Amino acid sequence: MTDDSLLSVRDLVVQFPTRHGVLTALDGISFDIMRGEVLGVVGESGAGKSMTGSAIIGLIEPPGRIAGGEIWLGDRRIDNLSMEAMRDIRGKRIAMVFQDPLTSLNPLFTIADQLVETIQTHLRVSAREARERAIGLLDDVGIPAAARRIDDYPHQFSGGMRQRVVIALALAGEPELVIADEPTTALDVSVQAQIIDVLKRLCAERGTSVMLITHDMGVIAETADRVAVLYAGRLAEIGPVRDVIKHALHPYTHGLMGSIPTLAQEEDRLIQIPGAMPRLTDIPPGCPFNPRCPRVFDRCHVERPDPMPHGTRRVACWLYDEPQGEAAP
């Protein structure tokens, strides 16, 4: 962990016991998030993106559990805290924006009730000051006539406006880290861009770090400083977003990049990754991507690669191991 790291995840393992054995949803994931940084986390459905966010904020549903590794927030380890101690951190130091805003908003209470309660839970302010802060937050996230609309109920807002309210709710406790889990998936494309702009601008103004979980590489390209690519519960590649997009190292990342249409594209068809990600009960030995990899060789079938340094990045691929890596592109 470096001096500039806000969050440090080390060898994180999350498991779920079942009647058929133990499922490993996350298998040895390690990464840092720097102060003020936007880290994008991308991958197919089931890759472990949301599970990583849930583990960090302490919301893994039993019987799931963190079975190994460590999570550090600043100089404090948080993966082994009691539920009560974690509740103090949740909202105050780490906040979460969920995919469905109704997950975070209680339909029986006004927006004012929910924002004021959150502010007073985490900050020592009077009810009047909390209400003024709440109106300011709604104004910041782009709610028109915030002073009047603060007394409305969630159902009186559109989907995009509800997501803006959720962002205000997440920032109410002045957290150091916001985990945004697919915050725009259920919204229209034009509204998606607005929500991402609001989240990025407000966090930049406050110096807040963001972990942006999405399957949309276009959103990552526009928003993130670095990107972590997950596959089958493992880290495939992590590095500066510009480097990863322009010259992907891992064959899986290369396939993801090739599936993004561009104006300059001359080919009739986009790159397609054959097959599907393996089930957690049927992950192959060696590299989990080997059944789908166009550059697979013998070692990939028997040895699992851990992320290894390569320039500005870390990549879990035997193509970049010495001396094999000397021949890699």
- Give the pLDDT of the chain (329 residues) as one tens digit per residue: 556 899 999 999 999 998 888 999 999 999 999 999 999 999 988 899 999 999 999 999 999 999 999 999 999 999 999 999 999 999 899 999 988 888 889 999 999 999 999 999 999 999 999 999 999 999 999 999 999 999 999 999 999 999 999 999 999 999 999 999 998 877 788 888 888 889 989 989 999 999 999 988 888 888 999 999 999 999 999 999 999 999 999 999 998 887 666 655 555 666 778 889 998 888 999 999 999 999 999 999 999 999 999 999 999 999 998 654 444 44
Q: Is the pTM of this model over 0.75?
A: yes
- For tokens 């596959």, the residue is 231
The region that residue 35 occupies, defined by phi over 0 for left and psi between -120 and 50 for alpha, beta otherwise, is beta
User: How far apart are the C-alpha atoms of 95 and 92, rounded to whole Å?
Assistant: 7
User: How far apart are the C-alpha atoms of 163 and 99, rounded to whole Å?
Assistant: 9
Retrieve residue 131's tokens.
């209400």
* Residue 273 pLDDT: 85
Kindly give, in sequence order, each residue whose CB lies less than 8 Å from that of residue 185, ignoring residues fewer than 6 positions away.
99, 214
Bond prior to 63 in cis (omega within 30° of 0): yes
Neighbours of 20 (CB within 10 A): 7
Neighbours of 265 (CB within 10 A): 11
Q: Is residue 231 exposed (0-12), middle (13-18) or buried (19+ Cβ within 10 Å)?
A: buried
Q: Is residue 71 exposed (0-12), middle (13-18) or buried (19+ Cβ within 10 Å)?
A: buried
Domains and CATH numbers, the chain: 5-93+175-327 (3.40.50.300)
User: How far apart are the C-alpha atoms of 153 and 195, rounded to whole Å?
Assistant: 20
Confirm if 134 and 149 have CB atoms less than 8 A apart. Answer: no
Neighbours of 282 (CB within 10 A): 6
Confirm if 312 and 255 have CB atoms less than 8 A apart. Answer: no
